[in-house]
Structure 1
Amino acid sequence: MFKLENCVSYIATNASKNLAEGFDKKLKAYGISRVQWTALYYIGRDEEMIQKQLSDLMRIRESSTTRLIDRMEKEGLIKRKNDPDNRRKVSLTLTEKGRDLRAESFHHGEEYSYYISQDVSDEDMKTFMKVLDLMIKRADEY
């Protein structure tokens, strides 16, 4: 008989919410959300990025990305630049304020990842990542 408590997607969703909420608490001191932090990470990593690419990397709808970008632009963290040859193509770059905030908050991702996994052996982490990758691949194929 099916039990929701044993359903992989239910367990993963609850785990993801827990982990995300913990990281959000850490980032609150910087006045940004985990989603904004992730956008700062990707845009800063590539220095300039197309809005659609950011949507794909973050696995969120383009309409959600647009709202995120609107907010971050209003807060002075990013700049948009429209492609003169293609109106739908929008490039994103970090402002000085965005680069500074990224640099200030960047280490928290590594610190949080270390903290939550410090009691997990390297072997168990490799197994976890392998199993998770397989399940994500299967979910994408479904």
Structure 2
Amino acid sequence: MSCMKHADLRREILFELSDVARAMRTHIDQRARQHGMTRAQWAVLARVQRQEGATQTELAEALEIQPISLVRLVDRLCAQGLVERRAHAKDRRVNLLHLTDRGRDLLAELTPLGRDIAREILDELSESQTLDLLHKLLLMKRNIKSASAKHVANGAEQGGRDAEAR
């Protein structure tokens, strides 16, 4: 790969990142199934634990998923007795999400599994390489958000110009 052009190398990195993300999702799903759940359900449980009492809308935003997708996941978790919806004290139309004792117990079981998965995936990286990778991934994430915001702004601007031209 040393004779690869810089632009080609950048594109190759994006392909590899996509492949790694897909493989990681598949691996985590396989491991989560051993505990009777999906990766998505696990993510919701973990987020509810971090944001106990959050609304479904807040949780959907934090997980970057559509509210309707979250509703289905929460419905399943409620049916399993892992999460409960509680009506907001001031607005009964709003549900606040809380873990049940059973949900807390399951997350306690899943915590070592999460560590095992991280170890399996990052096994050959030193601590400094892991930290460096994290910094680079966070930088890429910031770049993506910035580029997306610019494209949305440019699209809105372009849309306005297109409407004026008609």
TM over 0.5: yes
- The aligned runs of 1:77-92 (5 Å cut-off) are 77-92=82-97
Question: Which residue number in structure 2 is paired with residue 61 of structure 1?
Answer: 66
Question: Which residue number in structure 2 is paired with residue 114 of structure 1?
Answer: 119
Distance 1:61 1:21 in 2: 21
TM-aligned CA deviation for residue 101 of structure 1: 1.3
More strand by share: 1
Question: Which residue number in structure 2 is paired with residue 40 of structure 1?
Answer: 45
Q: Secondary structure at the match of 1:91?
A: strand
Give me the CA root mean square deviation.
Answer: 2.4
TM-aligned CA deviation for residue 84 of structure 1: 4.6
Question: 5+ residue gaps in structure 2?
Answer: 148-166
Residue 127 of structure 2 corresponds to residue 132 of structure 1: no
Residue in structure 2 matching 1:94, options 85, 91, 99? 99
Q: Secondary structure at the match of 1:30?
A: coil
- 8 Å contact from structure 1 (residues 80, 91) kept in 2: yes
User: Runs (4+) of structure 1 moved beyond 6 Å?
Assistant: none
Aligned length: 142
Letter in 1 for 2:114: G
Question: 5+ residue gaps in structure 1?
Answer: none
Distance 2:92 2:45 in 1: 23
Distance 2:15 2:68 in 1: 26
Question: Which residue number in structure 1 is paired with residue 155 of structure 2?
Answer: none
Distance 2:53 2:115 in 1: 23
Moved more, 59-68 or 85-94: 85-94
TM-aligned CA deviation for residue 45 of structure 1: 3.3
TM-aligned CA deviation for residue 88 of structure 1: 4.9
- 8 Å contact from structure 1 (residues 41, 106) kept in 2: no
Q: Which has the larger radius of gyration?
A: 2
- 8 Å contact from structure 1 (residues 48, 92) kept in 2: yes
TM-score, normalising length: structure 1: 0.85
Report sequence identity in percent: 26
